[in-house]
Chains A and B, each alone.
Chain A
Amino acid sequence: MSKWFTQEEAFNLKLKERLNDIHANVAFRLRDSVVFGTEPLTAAPGQPVDTGNLKSSWILSHPEKLLSTLLATGKTPDGEEVGYARYIEEGVGMTFGAHGGGPHSIALTVSAFKKLVKAAVSEEVS
């Protein structure tokens, strides 16, 4: 009986580790897509760079519990406001192209979110 419990415990631990790995994989793919535009599965352009403030304002954190991630913008680490982030995302009143990046990075990432999860699972399980 005790051997059964030991095996079950080991299985649960392994499952938890796998879940954490998949979660982290998705979180980094999310960041790569929205911030850097380097996630081909979403085709998101990433944040445009002029001063670098917007890009550095995106913070990936795990605020509550292990399997929760927050990717947010608002201020740079130096306290610079980036209230224009929403205009960038919506492509309103902005001209893009000179420094790479562009609008709709969040929309494209949300749109292809299932693909990110599928890819992360495939990568971690294989």
Chain B
Amino acid sequence: MINHYLIQKALRAKLLTLEVCTTGSVTISGTSTGYARTTGSFLTDGFAPGMEVTGTSFGESANNTAKSITSVTALTMTCPGCTTETAGTRTLAVGLPADRAWENIKLDPTTGSPWVEEQYVPGPMEKVTLGPLGQLEVLPIYAPRIYVPAGSGVGAARSYADAIITLFAPSTSFTVSGHTVVVRSVPAPYSGQLLQAGPGFAVVPVTIPLRVRTANSV
């Protein structure tokens, strides 16, 4: 039979691999207000206020921890919590926010930091092939919601949503405990309107329609 629990866990595991943007391995320094570079562009790389950025390969641990971006220019990124450090080869990247409200798990969001919430809707089930062991088809919906700080504009919200849609591109498939889970093409994954989700956050909903088929082994 269909195992929605395992399907949801697999979807969650895939969501955790989200990559929104990265500098790649470049020369970056730490400053008292954030990060700086002398070549390239944080803007071109896709960074935006409201995202949560994480550094790697910095000598100062404070510069490696996840923190929220409050402003970005081509050569500077402002994020409270950084410390001064000379330039070196490092990476800054944005993935899934560290604050995650998995279904039925309480989360107290941190003001000023983005967070993600998931909803899983099992959807209708139908027997689609003949015989007592005919295949069952289910149409679940996986619905991550990305919350960004209110007032941070649309850049972070839209970039997170676009990255999720790219991660769950139409026809993406994986197998979970004998079930074939496919991201549908009609309707394909889509993001909704940015909504104010007070207090202190705006939210962009993403909807991922799925098709699951499995043998009816009951």
Q: Tell me what chain A mostly uses at the interface: helix, strand, loop, or mixed.
A: loop
Mask, B128-144, CB within 8 Å of A = 1, is: 00000000000101010
Across the interface, do A112 and B123 meet the contact criterion of CB distance under 8 Å?
yes
The total of interchain contacts (Cβ-Cβ below 8 angstroms) comes to 58
Across the interface, do B124 and A90 meet the contact criterion of CB distance under 8 Å?
no
Interface size on A (CB < 8 Å)?
18
Across the interface, do B195 and A104 meet the contact criterion of CB distance under 8 Å?
no
Q: A90 with B145: in contact, given A41-B124, A111-B123, A111-B209 (CB under 8 Å)?
A: yes
For chain B, give the interface size range: 20 to 34
Residues of A contacting B184 in the complex (Cβ-Cβ under 8 angstroms)? 111
Residues of A contacting B141 in the complex (Cβ-Cβ under 8 angstroms)? 104, 107-108, 111
Residues of B contacting A111 in the complex (Cβ-Cβ under 8 angstroms)? 123, 139, 141, 184, 187, 209
* Chain A residue at smallest Cβ distance from B206: A90
CB distance from B130 to the nearest CB of A (A): 16
Across the interface, do B209 and A103 meet the contact criterion of CB distance under 8 Å?
no
Query: Is residue B193 within 8 Å, beta carbon to beta carbon, of the partner chain?
Result: yes
Q: Taking beta carbons and an 8 Å cutoff, which residues of B are in contact with A?
A: 119, 121-124, 126, 139, 141, 143, 145, 184, 187, 192-193, 195, 197-198, 203, 205, 207, 209
